[in-house]
Amino acid sequence: MSRRLLVLRPAPGAAVTAARVHAAGLRPILLPLFAIAPMAWSPPPGRFDALLLTSANAVRHAGDGLAALRDLPVIAVGTATAEAARAAGLTVVATGSTDGAAALRLAQTRGYHRILRLTADRPTPLAGIVDVAVYTTVAIDHPPGAVAAARGAIALLHSSRAAERFRALLDSAGVDPADVTVAALSAKVAAAAGTGWRDVVVAATPDDAALVAAAATRAIDR
């Protein structure tokens, strides 16, 4: 019997993940942990030689202010962010394959050192860059009954913050982690989720397609 896959990421990414789960012949359950909203912002003073993007959400929610940065070459954290940047008319010169720290190193090896990052209001710190918050994430509360749907399911964890919040929600709802399987985007995300799960699988590469594929390997009850 195929298990349910909990899609915990916010819209619009949740719809993309749910479609992948459907395509794999599995059943997605949407239980977003956060909602994303744009913030008022303006480009900071000073000259920059590159734009670092560590989330497609930064592109989606930057709004009209993005036009002032169109001449900056973009270093994207991964393929999804790169695609969003190109769709917004930006020029992507390099695309990473792991995390923000690796994307920053990639930018520096390309000779970029005055780097601006558009990001969330609580980003993972990166040294030596200028951050501008263009969006915020707001936690969504769910009743214990909704969280109880995690029992016997596979939870898709796209970020460390989501992993921490998901674990806290399970604890509040009295759901034993031993009844839940976790599929994590990276080893770092898996570590943030803590221990005691029925099973843990990590995506082969840190992208949504690989995460769904990893979850599918655990989706048939033994």
- 107-164 pLDDT tens trace: 999 999 999 999 999 888 999 999 999 999 999 988 888 999 999 999 999 999 999 9
- Would you kindly state where each structural domain of the chain is located, as residue ranges? 4-33+140-216, 37-137
127 in helix, strand or coil?
A: coil
- Read off the pLDDT of each residue in 31-40 and give the average, rounded to a whole number: 95
Chain mean pLDDT for the chain: 93
Q: Using 50, 70 and 90 to split pLDDT, how confident is the model at 52?
A: very high
- Read off the pLDDT of each residue in 23-44 and give the average, rounded to a whole number: 94
114 in helix, strand or coil?
A: coil
CATH class assigned to 4-33+140-216? alpha beta
- Read off the pLDDT of each residue in 53-59 and give the average, rounded to a whole number: 94
93 in helix, strand or coil?
A: strand
Whether 4-33+140-216 and 37-137 share one fold: the answer is yes
CATH class assigned to 37-137? alpha beta
- Read off the pLDDT of each residue in 57-85 and give the average, rounded to a whole number: 94
